[in-house]
Chains A and B, each alone.
Chain A
Amino acid sequence: MIITYEDIIIRTLTRVLAPFLQLYALYVIAHGHYSPGGGFQGGVILAASFILMVISFGLDMARRRLSEKVDIIFLCLGLLIYSGTGALCLALGGNFLDYRELTKILPVTIARARALGILFVETGVGFGVMAVMTSLVYDISTGGLPPERR
């Protein structure tokens, strides 16, 4: 169980920092095909903003912002986006995650199609990693008990 401790400095700085942290995470995910970073790193930064809120504001406030149900939905959505992109390429006649095949349904060049495919996959990975990290922290801080038995 995480014990909440009222500290003005930490709380205020978390409040100011969290939106920028989240936006930086989304930037890392969205620009993964141009610059260092990508889905995993961005997802971890995104999860870090929620973990920061769990640590500084307590579990309840963080759960009001991102409930466990929504967390699971994000987890499944991330997996769906990742494997869906791969399976789409498979269905279009290429290999799994062979983004070249996306040119058959999108009006873009092959190089652009590869970049777009990487962006889709990284979005999925980012959502999945964020959801897994956050749910890990939720589970650790509640002792793994379901909400009705706490």
Chain B
Amino acid sequence: MEVTVLIQATDEAFKIIEEARNRALDVLNTSVRFTAEAKVLEEKKVQDIFKGAERTKSEVLSFLATFALLFFPFWMPLSGFFDVFHLSIGVGCCALVAYISHDLLFVNVRVGDMRTIVKRFFAYIPWLLYQIYLASVHVIKIVLKPKMPIDPRIIRFKTKLQTDISMVTFANSITLTPGTITVEIKDGEYYVHAIDEEVAYDLLYGGEMEDRVAHVYMEAEHVYVQDVLDVARIYGALR
């Protein structure tokens, strides 16, 4: 009898000890969780501050770039007066416009690439003019033939270009070339009106203009012939 009482007492004592241990574990876990949460929150706060600083920095950068682009190549030749009065008006106006619309001009531009893009763009223009000349000759031939063999059609093709600005450059290059007009860009597909079959097939299967535009805007996975040649030249010089 005494033995059973003793055993029961021991059991109860064990139970109490177990409970106490569980409770202590719970408290420990909770405290650990709270610490972790506090840590995450703090990290988030630091990150937010960092991100805010980053955004402010990029805003200031785009403001300065817009200001420079507006003031030096646009306002100064337009104005033509270089006295203090007119220059200060110019600085004020450019600062106002740059403040209103600094987020319009420079969107999704990697700052380091800007110089290369501008250089390549100006190199692209003579080629485009030559292409316009060729297409004009083609259209003149069609028009002067007595039968006038036009065969108008709207072709649709998917583009490899990725950014907005390159798509727009390509679309406007197509429109500038006589015989073809970009009707619409929708979901990365071009709808182009072409005057006859040859022009259409040139655009569909030639793809040189698209490659060149991709080269201008430095889009990934585009190896333009000029690049290969450049590399070969460097390789030869090294050897």
A109 interfacial contact with B, CB 8 Å: no
Across the interface, name the chain A residue whose C-beta is closest to B168. Answer: A12
B contact patch SS: helix
Closest approach, in angstroms, between the C-beta of B106 and any C-beta of chain A? 10
Q: Which of B96, B101, B167 contacts A8 (CB 8 A)?
A: B167
Interface residues in A17-34 by Cβ distance below 8 A to B read: 18-20, 22-24, 26-27, 30-31, 34
What's the A-B contact tally at a CB cutoff of 8 Å?
Answer: 63
Closest approach, in angstroms, between the C-beta of A22 and any C-beta of chain B? 5
B176 interfacial contact with A, CB 8 Å: no
**Chain A residues within an 8 Å CB radius of B70:** 19-20, 23
Listed in ascending order, the chain A residues whose CB lies under 8 Å from chain B are: 7-9, 11-13, 15-16, 18-20, 22-24, 26-27, 30-31, 34, 65-66
**Interface residue total, chain B, C-beta cutoff 8 A:** 29
Instruction: Tell me, in angstroms, the Cα distance from A19 to B101 when the chains sit together.
Output: 6
**Chain A residues within an 8 Å CB radius of B172:** 9
Listed in ascending order, the chain B residues whose CB lies under 8 Å from chain A are: 66, 70, 74-75, 78-79, 81, 86, 89-90, 93-94, 96-98, 100-101, 104-105, 107, 164-165, 167-168, 171-172, 182, 184-185
**Chain A residues within an 8 Å CB radius of B89:** 30
Q: Which of A8, A18, A23, A30 contacts B104 (CB 8 A)?
A: A18
**Chain B residues within an 8 Å CB radius of A8:** 164, 167-168, 171, 185
- Do B97 and A9 have beta carbons less than 8 Å apart? no
Instruction: Tell me, in angstroms, the Cα distance from A15 to B165 when the chains sit together.
Output: 10
Instruction: Tell me, in angstroms, the Cα distance from A45 to B165 when the chains sit together.
Output: 25
**Chain B residues within an 8 Å CB radius of A26:** 93, 96-97
Q: A8-B167, A23-B74 are in contact. List 14 more A-B contacts (CB 8 A).
A: A8-B164, A8-B168, A9-B171, A12-B167, A18-B101, A18-B104, A19-B97, A20-B74, A22-B100, A23-B75, A24-B78, A26-B97, A30-B89, A31-B79
Closest approach, in angstroms, between the C-beta of B85 and any C-beta of chain A? 9
Q: Which of A15, A27, A34 contacts B75 (CB 8 A)?
A: A27
- Do A22 and B182 have beta carbons less than 8 Å apart? no
Across the interface, name the chain A residue whose C-beta is closest to B89. Answer: A30
**Chain B residues within an 8 Å CB radius of A20:** 70, 74
Instruction: Tell me, in angstroms, the Cα distance from A66 to B185 when the chains sit together.
Output: 29
